[in-house]
Structure 1
């Protein structure tokens, strides 16, 4: 299969991204509106597309100060398009081939360490601290249903 990877924000299919995130352990809590907001407010987005059909099959977004620090988030490849090196292409496009190539990058993952280690990600050093997220409240739509 052949793919196109680019950073055209207007090409991102929010429904594809939201659908994939609803299946991912880290994205289940987000509504479609949440995902749309995150895409709109992202510093940069990368989309991956099937070259023949034009359908979106992968995604990543980054949050950044635009000068020296970026957070990589929501790297996804639809299941039927995995094992073609597409995840590597998406990460490379985001962190090595874009305007943040010299930035300090950070991310969180529980199951893809091998992928990110290929791009220089490692366990944080003694100067890094992380404040865990608080328990997420029910989404307002869910709260209304429970009332």
Structure 2
């Protein structure tokens, strides 16, 4: 199946992104709808993946960046029924290798997809990286 990959933020169906993040994503369930909308509004770049016949969103990613040297990859997902067909890898390739941030330093957080991201050059942080965890209050 030939999916359509598009980086137009105006085309992203916010209801579909919200529905997936708020019910399926272990990392997204604590956000409110207003939070997700604010993140979409301020995203540096987005990638939407659309079914060729129905036009429905089947995959998504967003990035935050300074636009010069650094970017954070977030909220990468592929809906059930479309996984295992290379959609996730193509989302990441479209976002980081085929976009304006191809030479940036990219970071991301994942609990369970380390091997997927290693294929794109991601590795555990080096001695220059530190992370301040979110506060619980």
Task: Note whether the superposition's TM-score is higher than 0.5.
Answer: yes
Unpaired runs of 5+ residues, structure 2, are none
Give matches, 1:67-82, under 5 Å. Answer: 67-82=68-83
Say what the alpha-carbon RMSD is for the aligned residues.
0.8
Bigger Rg, structure 1 or 2: 1
Unpaired runs of 5+ residues, structure 1, are 138-147
The aligned residue for residue 8 of structure 1 is: 8
The aligned residue for residue 91 of structure 1 is: 92
Which whole-Å deviations, capped at 9, do the CAs of 1:76-118 have from their partners, x for residues lacking one?
1111211110000100000000000000000000000011000
SS in 2 for 1:26: coil
Instruction: Provide TM-score, normalisation by structure 1.
Output: 0.90
Q: Do residues 130 (structure 1) and 131 (structure 2) align?
A: yes
SS in 2 for 1:81: coil
State the alpha-carbon separation in 1 of the partners of residues 135 and 80 from structure 2. 30
| CA shift for structure 1 position 2 | 2.2
- Between the two proteins, the alignment pairs up a number of residues equal to 136
Instruction: Provide TM-score, normalisation by structure 2.
Output: 0.96
Consecutive aligned runs of 4 or more in structure 1 exceeding 4 Å deviation: none
